[in-house]
A and B are shown apart, each in its own frame.
Chain A
């Protein structure tokens, strides 16, 4: 038990890095996903193709390979230099973005076509219709799937330890290297991830109740 208590300050530092990377990446990922979903549904063929290629490429490759590509791959080119955390955030954001794109697309398409027609026949433009009529309804439906992807992305951040980002997993490894108490430390690390994810799912069910149809 003392081992864990002694390790807590170090693990706490790592947890802060994990939380920071997660929030930045998930926010960027959502923006990427929204843009790609709108591209995917756009009447312009070229935008459809960009979104389709992006989504297929990201979903079709392992996140670890993407991470190595963005960190080692891009940095091996002379003209680009990304530091660890930038590469890590980009990887998680792009990966989440591809999944978000499909979640958002499905959400938008699940809204009855009559909603669009009713809005358009009242004289709203297509942008106004999307923003005021379709997205508010669609986002509510997406919330549970969205949470699911956020949880997956949070756990994906543990992979960033392999390029040396000092996140919770990396800090755990460092502590174990010094103390040899693998059982205790990995247990503590696991509990910390669990608490974080549990808080996330509590937040999600709160939001679901909040936005319920009245």
Chain B
């Protein structure tokens, strides 16, 4: 079953095209590795899956839900999506 579906994803920063027409289907319990030179847009791609970046064109579906739709409850979806950052952040004033 497809868990993450990306269709024709495009992301521009101003005039710079970072992500050009990316389509990928990721199934449940599948492990996917994204490889590329630094600055090639790996992190941007991952951030798009979480809508930390607004995408320029295309569609991202998590478990069938279109997260780029205007009426999507992004905060609810984000609670289901785990993410570890390059420099991972702890909230220094919170305890576990």
Contacts and interface: CB of A to CB of B under 8 A. Distances in A.
Interface stretch (A7-15, A122-130, A190-198): A122-130
Contacts of B85: 114, 117-118
A49 to B, nearest CB: 24
Contact of A115 (B76, B79, B83, B89): B89
Contacts of B89: 112, 114-115, 117-118
Contacts of A124: 75
Contacts of B81: 121
B61 interface: no
The size class of the interface chain A forms with chain B is: 10 to 19
B92 interface: yes
B91 A123 contact: no
A111 to B, nearest CB: 10
Contact of A119 (B76, B91, B92, B93): B91
B50 interface: yes
**A contact patch SS:** helix
Interface in B65-96: 75-81, 83, 85, 87-89, 91-93
Contacts of B92: 137, 213
A164 interface: no
B75 A121 contact: no
B79 A117 contact: no
Given A115-B91, A136-B93, A213-B92, A125 B52 contact: no
B52 A133 contact: no
A138 B91 CA distance: 12
B84 to A, nearest CB: 9
Interface in A100-115: 112, 114-115
What are the 9 A-B residue pairs with the smallest beta carbon separation, nearest first?
Answer: A123-B79, A123-B78, A118-B89, A114-B89, A121-B83, A123-B75, A136-B93, A121-B50, A125-B75
Given A117-B85, A140-B93, 10 more contacts: A118-B85, A119-B91, A120-B52, A120-B78, A121-B52, A121-B83, A122-B78, A122-B79, A123-B80, A136-B93
Interface of B: 50, 52, 75-81, 83, 85, 87-89, 91-93
23 contacts: A114-B87, A114-B89, A115-B91, A117-B52, A117-B85, A118-B85, A118-B91, A119-B91, A120-B52, A121-B81, A122-B78, A122-B79, A123-B75, A123-B76, A123-B77, A123-B79, A124-B75, A125-B75, A133-B91, A137-B92, A137-B93, A213-B92, A213-B93
